[in-house]
Amino acid sequence: MNTISKLTELFSKFPGIGPRQAKRFVYFLLTRNSSFLEELARLLLELKKEVSTCESCMRFFSNSLHNTKICEICRDPNRNGEMLMIVERDADFENIEKSKIYEGKYFILGGKVPILEKNPENRIRVSQLKERIKDTNIKEVILALSVNPDGENTEKYVRDLLPSSCKITILGRGLSTGIELEYPDSDTLKNAFKNRT
């Protein structure tokens, strides 16, 4: 297999990218000058070195300046440690952070539990979540999951893992059905958060 085919195959593994788009990426790269390609290659190699997974919330964070295992949000004393918002993916976390509606802490599940999944542990971070919710400061857990059958199934599964001592809320409707939390705009998120039940 030649380099064009190999790269096309790699790009088609990206989320949402089909073979045709993957090939367009390859031809786009071929039109760039070598400094662009060198920069890209350098950043790709650095990505894993510079980005760590936070041991508390499990999100990816840039660890270039501080040699720490805990991200800046989990370390921030001004954030409300009594609230824990559980989201599926880093992109959902980013969108909620961008909307500035929430000042508590997070936990990134790493995915969702499809209906009929026999081993949810293979899909989401069950053991890490159990560890995180041992934190007795947590008074409220907000389940901010996709509004679709798999999201609802995940919600049910996660609820059973949570201690009965904390209040469990879900984001208010108003988020359209089928949507992933990566997409709604700030106003929609703000309403969903305000109307959580």
Chain residues binding Zn ion by CB under 5 A are 54, 56-57, 71, 74
Least Å distance between CB 158 and Zn ion? 18
Q: How far is C-alpha 137 from the geometric centre of its chain's CA atoms?
A: 23
Of 55 and 117, the one with the shorter C-beta distance to Zn ion is 55
What is the C-alpha to C-alpha distance for residues 173 and 152, in angstroms, rounded to an integer? 13
In the complex, minimum distance from the CB of residue 127 to Zn ion, in angstroms, rounded to a whole number: 17
* Cβ closest to Zn ion, residue 70 vs residue 179: 70
Q: How far is the CB of 74 from Zn ion (least distance, A)?
A: 3
Which pairs count as long-range contacts for 126-135, CB under 8 Å and 24+ apart, including other chains?
A: 126/161, 128/58, 129/86, 129/158, 129/161, 130/161, 132/56, 132/57, 132/84, 132/107, 133/84, 133/161, 133/162, 133/163, 133/166, 135/81, 135/84
Smallest gap from Cβ 117 to Zn ion, in A, equals 26
Q: Which is nearer to Zn ion, 97 or 187 (CB)?
A: 97
Q: Which is nearer to Zn ion, 117 or 140 (CB)?
A: 140
Distance of CA 66 to the CA centre of its chain: 22
